[in-house]
Structure 1
Amino acid sequence: MFKTILVPTDGSERSDKAINNAIDYAKHCGSKIVGISVAEPYPFSPLAESSMAIDPALYEENVRTLAEQHVRKIADAAQAAGVPCQTATMMSFAPDEEIVNAAKTYGCDVIFMASHGRSGLSRMFLGSKTQKVLAHSTIPVLVLR
């Protein structure tokens, strides 16, 4: 039986499915939830800097706020179900690494996460965060589609 469940979210409907499943499991098994969201920093490019109209500080503030809203959704759902929950947000260009590190940091024994179901070229070029977590995690990963 899993006692501490890590639930990463990007705010998508598929992530909501993982959240709901994790909370249902936690409620029935007496587990706790750790919700995380990883915001990607401003993609700085010195060559394009002079032509960019976006303020990097404003961009990062906005993506951090969005990540905080995503984990707030987890916390609110867990509270409504009576499930203990803690949340964290972080900034990183490698969300998959942050997910694996968070599982270790918070002593999680399982990860419930969504897969966006990409295949073919889009998967090859965009990469699969879920696939990378599966490859590097030392604990079980439950992937929901």
Structure 2
Amino acid sequence: MFKTILLPTDGSELAVKATEAAIRFAQVHGARIVSVCVAQPFPFVPATDNAVVPDADVFETQIAATAKAHINKIEIACATAGVPFEGIVVSSHTPYKEIVAAAEKYNCDIILMASHGRSGLSKLFLGSETQKVLAHTTLPVLVLR
């Protein structure tokens, strides 16, 4: 039933647990894993010429390298478990859109992702990429806590 699993990752502890579950899920279903890590571009544009800001190119290079490292860890875990794997890194200010787009592009049957379980005001103001994915995809989404 599930032949291609999309596994979004941000490298967090919960994402590592989701990776372990996704690998077991893939083994049971004889599926492959496509993992996506969204590197968010430099978030700040100075409004004045006198502003002192970090170097955006250095920031984006480091973020992309970190995202690639997260994907590499999943690739190694999948190879060890004998699970076919494809990893992608994309750059975007809207991770949920990239996750939904990757699921469509790679013909995924399910999205398996971690939930950070925010509550209270942080949930209200920050929202949740998981919640946004749930709202914008028609695929089944397995949320792990």
TM bin, normalised by shorter chain, reads: over 0.9
Structure 1 residues 48 and 65, CA gap change in structure 2 (3 angstroms): farther
What are the within-5 Å matches in structure 2 for residues 39-118 of structure 1? 39-47=39-47, 50-118=50-118
Cα distance in structure 1, aligned partners of 2:63 and 2:112: 23
Deviation at 1:119, TM superposition (A): 1.1
Cα distance in structure 2, aligned partners of 1:71 and 1:143: 19
Deviation at 1:124, TM superposition (A): 1.2
**In the alignment, what sits opposite 1:5?**
5
Structure 1 residues 48 and 24, CA gap change in structure 2 (3 angstroms): farther
Q: Contact between 2:8 and 2:99, CA under 8 Å: does it hold in 1?
A: yes
**In the alignment, what sits opposite 1:23?**
23
**Structure 2: gaps (5+ residues):** none
TM-score (normalizing by structure 2): 0.96
Deviation at 1:51, TM superposition (A): 2.5
* Residue 128 (structure 1) aligned with residue 110 (structure 2): no
Structure 1 residues 117 and 48, CA gap change in structure 2 (3 angstroms): farther
Name the SS of the counterpart of 2:74 in structure 1.
helix
Cα distance in structure 2, aligned partners of 1:103 and 1:39: 17
Cα distance in structure 1, aligned partners of 2:117 and 2:32: 27
Moved more, 127-136 or 48-57: 48-57
Aligned amino acid, residue 62 of structure 1: Q
Aligned residues: 145
**Structure 1: gaps (5+ residues):** none
Moved over 3 A (4+): none
Identity of aligned residues (%): 52
**In the alignment, what sits opposite 2:36?**
36
Cα distance in structure 2, aligned partners of 1:112 and 1:143: 6
What is the aligned-residue RMSD (CA, Å)?
1.1
